[in-house]
């Protein structure tokens, strides 16, 4: 969330920067809402001072008590008006996305992303017709799409046998890499969180239609769309010192997304499911350190793909294609030869102080100065999309799939062969 004073101070510059995200900022309405809140708060302060003075030297007897009651009623009325004005302003601010950094390119879709670099084995395209990972998974007996649909409907996945083993291996490998080599602290987090937690990272109110929710009695909870939500909110409402930062947090969780608005896209396979597993990275740092932390996190994602011997590229997203809370995002895209295209496997975002303001995460420096901290997050990696890339890049013309060396200690096999065999 923004500091309204900073947005107003930026004036037309804030309007220009948000226009790059296709968000029309009504600066006049925002200023009017801010003035209403200030005026209401000033009235509360004035009336409270009058009530305090009356308590010290007001008229005696029934006349004095009546005057005090009337003044207390006015104070309560003013407090209610102040709460309403504050809620209206906060509600307006919560709908405004983060301001893109100047180095973020213009554009509204992934087609306008700027390629930064490539990594992993060189991409070889067009020599052999590689099958889609869904076809390979069914042929090798790794997936059971029909039973998944019978259990839950479309866009759910069921791994079986060696397929389930491969998914577990990928998740374990990724967690070990981030904990043992990259220095993240692993957490086991709740998969259901409350509205306040969802609001803290920006999922609410903007993306409520994309969330799965449950209600038992008067208790409302949301299934997490990513472990970013509970991990970032672990320190909500806290003030962190230089000695505690940066925080490096990771968790492997299921993620639940309705994928509203994506009907007809990627309906086959593992790319766009209502439920999937993902290893998430979150870092919390001093605001001045955010840019360096972003580059570090992208490096951690790239190391996953290098270890898994997968071809990939890094792109810088344009302003109009970034997530609501991000001010700068790198997408890491893996090569999927079955579709002949690079596809996103991770988004690593610098949110600046945007989420920290919403969640009340503060930083106190060595001089005692306080301000909002910065938060960053990234996938490293989603298990399903990683398995999809392994099945397509590791496919061989005899129908087998060869896995990278890094996974062998986790799977117990290197090659997936037809007929349920391994080698």
For residues 336 and 131, give the distance between their C-alpha atoms in angstroms, rounded to a whole number.
10
Query: For strand 374-382 and strand 370-372, is the pairing parallel, antiparallel, or unpaired?
Result: unpaired
For residues 165 and 169, give the distance between their C-alpha atoms in angstroms, rounded to a whole number.
6
- Spot the catalytic one: 37, 252, 358, 385: 385
- Spot the catalytic one: 344, 362, 364, 400: 344
**257 classed as catalytic:** yes
Q: Crossing angle, helix 162-176 and helix 383-393, to 10 degrees?
A: 110
Q: Which helix (H) or strand (E) holds 301?
A: helix 290-307
For residues 416 and 43, give the distance between their C-alpha atoms in angstroms, rounded to a whole number.
73
**344 classed as catalytic:** yes
Q: Smallest Cα–Cα separation from 379: which of 104, 155, 171?
A: 171
Tokens of 307: 């270890």
Q: Which residues contact 205 (CB under 8 A, 6 or more apart)?
A: 91, 94, 95, 199
**265 classed as catalytic:** no
Q: Which helix (H) or strand (E) holds 82?
A: helix 61-93
**72 classed as catalytic:** no
- Spot the catalytic one: 36, 118, 272, 362: 272
- Spot the catalytic one: 257, 313, 357, 358: 257
Q: Smallest Cα–Cα separation from 325: which of 360, 285, 375?
A: 375
SS3 content of the chain, % helix, strand, coil (to 5): 45, 20, 35
- Spot the catalytic one: 347, 349, 357, 358: 347
Long-range pairs, 331-334, Cβ under 8 A, ≥24: 331/110, 331/113, 332/298, 332/301, 332/302, 332/305, 334/305, 334/310, 334/385, 334/386, 334/389
For residues 224 and 203, give the distance between their C-alpha atoms in angstroms, rounded to a whole number.
10
Q: Which residues are tagged catalytic?
A: 257, 272, 344, 347, 385
């Amino acid at each position: 969330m923004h500091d309204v004073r900073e947005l107003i101070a930026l004036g037309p510059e804030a309007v220009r920067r948000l226009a790059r995200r296709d968000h029309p900022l009504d600066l006049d309405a925002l200023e009017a809402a801010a003035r209403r809140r200030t005026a209401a708060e000033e009235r509360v302060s004035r009336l409270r001072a009058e009530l305090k003075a009356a308590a010290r030297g007001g008229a005696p007897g029934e006349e004095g008590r009546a005057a005090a009651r009337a003044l207390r009623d006015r104070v309560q009325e003013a407090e209610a008006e102040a709460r309403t004005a504050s809620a209206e302003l906060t509600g307006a601010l919560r709908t405004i996305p983060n301001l893109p950094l100047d180095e973020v390119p213009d554009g509204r879709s992934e087609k306008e992303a700027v390629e930064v670099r490539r990594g992993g084995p060189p991409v070889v395209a067009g020599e052999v017709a590689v099958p889609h990972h869904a076809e390979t998974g069914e042929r090798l007996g790794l997936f059971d799409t029909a039973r998944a649909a019978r259990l839950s409907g479309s866009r759910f996945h069921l791994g079986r046998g060696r397929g389930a083993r491969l998914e577990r291996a990928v998740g374990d490998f990724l967690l070990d890499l981030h904990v043992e080599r990259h220095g993240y602290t692993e957490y086991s987090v709740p998969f259901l969180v409350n509205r306040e937690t969802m609001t803290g990272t920006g999922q609410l109110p903007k993306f409520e239609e994309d969330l799965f929710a449950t209600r038992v009695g008067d208790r409302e909870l949301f299934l997490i769309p990513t472990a970013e939500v509970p991990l970032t909110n672990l320190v909500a409402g806290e003030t962190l010192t230089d000695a505690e930062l940066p925080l490096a947090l990771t968790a492997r969780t299921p993620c639940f997304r309705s994928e509203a608005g994506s009907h007809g896209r990627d309906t086959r396979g593992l790319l766009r499911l209502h439920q999937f597993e993902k290893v998430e990275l979150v870092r919390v740092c001093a605001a001045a350190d955010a840019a360096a932390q972003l580059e570090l996190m992208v490096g951690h994602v790239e190391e996953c793909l290098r270890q898994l011997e997968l071809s990939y590229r890094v792109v810088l997203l344009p302003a109009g294609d970034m997530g609501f809370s991000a001010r700068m995002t790198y997408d890491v895209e893996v090569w999927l030869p079955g579709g002949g295209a690079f596809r996103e496997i991770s988004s690593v975002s610098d949110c600046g102080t945007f989420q920290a303001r919403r969640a009340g995460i503060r930083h106190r420096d060595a001089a005692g100065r306080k301000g909002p901290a910065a938060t960053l997050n990234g996938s490293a990696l989603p298990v399903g999309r990683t398995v999809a890339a392994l099945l397509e890049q590791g496919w061989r013309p005899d129908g087998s799939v060869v896995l990278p060396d890094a996974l062998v200690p986790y799977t117990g096999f290197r090659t997936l062969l037809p007929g349920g065999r391994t080698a």
